[in-house]
Amino acid sequence: MLLLALAVFCGVAVLFVVGVGNLHEEYDARSITDAEYASVKTGPRGNTRKRIAARFGATVEVSRAAVPGEDPPGTACIFYNRKGQFSVYRFCFDNETGRLRVKSHVIPEPNI
């Protein structure tokens, strides 16, 4: 009986470690560095949403309730995790031109 309990415990521990590892890989895959963020240009010659997505990959889903501040009027925003930090980068694209109008660093509010 003790041997069975030990086997179950070890199995659960392995599944937990693998699951945490997968979450970490998923987080890193959707993260960008400070240098990558700084290199993104805004304005009339700025990046498009398509170009940003091609460069950095899939965006992260962020609860709008957790993001302080409003999105600028006339824009649609996407988010990427900030590599190594509990914060995100917001990229807001002009609805008419599709060009990046505003980018910002955002610290989400905790969901309590």
> Which residues constitute the domain of residue 102?
2-106
Mean pLDDT across 3-11: 54
Is the pLDDT at 9 greater than 70? The verdict is no
Nearest one of 89, 21, 17 to 52, comparing CA atoms: 89
Edge-to-edge strand list for the sheet holding 100-106: 31-32, 75-82, 88-94, 100-106
For residue 26, the number of C-alpha atoms closer than 13 Å in the C-beta half-sphere is 8
For the question of whether the overall pTM of this predicted structure is more than 0.75, the answer is no
For 23-57, write each residue's pLDDT tens digit.
Answer: 334 445 679 999 999 999 998 888 899 999 999 99
Count Cβ atoms within 10 A of the Cβ of residue 53 and give its class: 0-12 exposed, 13-18 middle, 19 or more buried: middle
For 55-94, write each residue's pLDDT tens digit.
Answer: 999 888 877 666 777 788 999 899 999 998 888 999 999 9
The number of domains in the chain is 1
d(CA 102, CA 79): 12
Q: CA dist 94 to 49, 75, 85, 110, Å?
A: 10, 5, 27, 28
- Residue for token digits 């190594």? 84
Within a domain: residue 111?
Answer: no
CATH number of the structural domain spanning residue 87: 3.30.1450
- Report the pLDDT value the prediction gives residue 29, as an integer from 0 to 100: 61
Within a domain: residue 78?
Answer: yes
- Report the pLDDT value the prediction gives residue 5, as an integer from 0 to 100: 53
- Report the pLDDT value the prediction gives residue 13, as an integer from 0 to 100: 44
